[in-house]
Amino acid sequence: MVNRTEQIWNEYRARLLGFIQSRIGNASDADDILQDVFVRIHSRIGSLKDNSKLQSWIYQIARNAVIDYYRARKPMEELPESLAIPETDPGNKARREIANCILPMIQALPDHYREAVMLSEIEGLTQKEVARTQSISVSGAKSRVQRGRAMIKDMLLDCCRFQFDRGGHVIDYETKGPTCDCDK
């Protein structure tokens, strides 16, 4: 099969190069496409059933390679500014600042809620593991974690006013008074 490809190379290389260059205009790209065409010819020569159609088969491969070249070079359209993703999320700063308030609020919880929330939310234990650690039932652990979360939410709402985006994510906040530990 290699001999067959070499024979085709010797017979058609110059004509195919001229054919490709007439459609591309860039000699370097035309050489690359010619190489690609011969790789395709070499890998598919076994699929040619009728040797009398060799020339039309080779030129069809070359036409397809030229088409592929233009498809790959299709210019990318820029997104309109209205669809562009903003460089930074304005809510990130607010969320970081609020996150700094959470740990002191967890520390202020009654002991059994504090331990359940710390194990679940900070250390990443499952509620089943929290139950085992605290020697309580799984439903008891779930209840403590949920009540602890609710207490933290109440502390945050007592302390701050929040602004949310359409998805319900915090984008900004302001403290309600001087007693809040979450001062900006």
Task: Quote the pLDDT of residue 124.
Answer: 86
Task: Quote the pLDDT of residue 180.
Answer: 67
Task: Quote the pLDDT of residue 142.
Answer: 95
**Beta strand residue intervals within the chain, DSSP E:** 160-164, 170-175
The dihedral formed by the CA atoms of 145, 148, 153 and 154, expressed in degrees to the nearest 10: 150
Task: Quote the pLDDT of residue 117.
Answer: 92
Structural domains of the chain, with CATH: 2-72 (1.10.1740.10), 90-175 (1.10.10.10)
| pTM more than 0.85 | no
pLDDT tens digits, residue range 54-82?
Answer: 888 999 999 999 888 888 876 666 655 55
Residues of the chain falling short of pLDDT 50: 1, 85, 87, 183-184
